[in-house]
Every structure is written in C-alpha cells, then in structure tokens.
Amino acid sequence: MRQKIIHKSTELFLTLGFKSVTMDDIANEMGISKKTIYVHFSNKTKLVETVTFYLFETICEGIDDICEASKNPIEELYDIKMFVMHHLKNEKSSPQYQLRKYYPQIYSMLKIKQFEKMHESVQESLQDGVDTGLFRDSIDVDFISRMYFNGMTGIKDGAIFPNQKFPMEYLMESYLEYHLRAIVTEKGFKILNQFITKNQS
C-alpha cells in the first residue's frame, strides 16, 4: 500500500503541483480513506519528502542506464533530456518551483543530492568527450560541469523564464544546444548538428 500511495502521489504532484494536491485528493483518487495514508505518512510534508527522493532515485537509475548504453556523450545528453522530460511530465505545474517555495528544506536537500549526482556524471561524460575528440581538450571539466548544473537549475526559474513564454521542452533543448556548441570540436559538431536538424524537422 505504501508503494501505491507513493506512485499515485508522484503522479498527482507532478501533474498538479506539490501545493495544490491535498491528502484528500490522493485518498479520493485511490479510493481509500485518508487514515490509510496517515498510517504510512505522518503528514503531507513526510509524503512530499518521500515522493521527492523516490523520483530522484528513479531518475538517477535511468540516467545511469543511459550513460552505460550511449554511443557518445552528445547522444547521452540528448537521451537524458528526453528521459527526464518524460519523467517530469514537461513540468507543466512547475513542481520544482512549488517545492522551493512551500517545502524549502526538502528542496535544499534535493538540490545538494542533485548536484552531487549530476556533477559526477557530467564530469565523466565531459572527460569521455575530450578523450574521444568530440569536446575541446582545453575545457576545464570541473568548471563546465558546475556551469552546466547551474544552467539546468537556472532555466527552471519561472521568474526569469516564464512558462507561458518558454515551455520546458524548448528551454531544455535550447540550453543543451547552447552548452554543447561551446565545447564541441568540429568532429563533435557533426554529431551535434544531426540532433539539431532532427529536432527542427
């Protein structure tokens, strides 16, 4: 039952937002009593925390699988982007923003974990790109990895990139191209260009 509650809550929070969904909504959607939810989660904050880190772990596992299977670091970043977009349902309700606003402690914990995970995997990916001649060998791998994380976090700020003007799909696509254009070699650009062309068609 605990897993069922987590799954249904994840779906509702991502679709409608962390603030908007009540414990009553979750109980009604599942056809169970609110008491049943409280047996497993003492309050909504505990449920939000569990869902947040469940989603984080799920996405991490998926990213690890993509990294192992990908042909090159450019394809890897595009595959990760598609995977994350699918999992976060295009973030129509800005769950990250709601999490930051209404559950700041959970958001801070998540951001630290996201940075640790992303910094490590992006560094490996960047180094692989340098070693295979797709990325310039003069790049500072540690610096670029931190910049990439900062940018990916920054584009989710609705105050700077309002959702009505910049859909998340567009932001992630544009930021990825912006990031890669800055570091690719000619050899890398040929691969990047295939993705740009494919996404424009």
H helices, E strands: number in the chain: 10, 0
**pLDDT at position 113 over 90:** yes
Percent of the chain with pLDDT over 70: 96
Q: Return the structure tokens found at 199.
A: 């996404």
If you count them, how many residues does the chain have? 201
Percent of the chain with pLDDT over 90: 72
| Region for residue 90 given its phi and psi (left: phi exceeds 0; alpha: psi -120 to 50; beta: otherwise) | left
Query: How far is 141 from 162, CA to CA, in rounded Å?
Result: 31
Query: How far is 199 from 76, CA to CA, in rounded Å?
Result: 15
Average confidence score pLDDT of the chain: 91
**pLDDT at position 17 over 80:** yes
**pLDDT at position 91 over 60:** no
| pLDDT classification of 48: cutoffs 50, 70, 90 | very high
What pTM was estimated for this model as a whole?
0.82
Cβ atoms 140, 155 nearer than 8 A: no
> Residue 92 has what pLDDT?
54
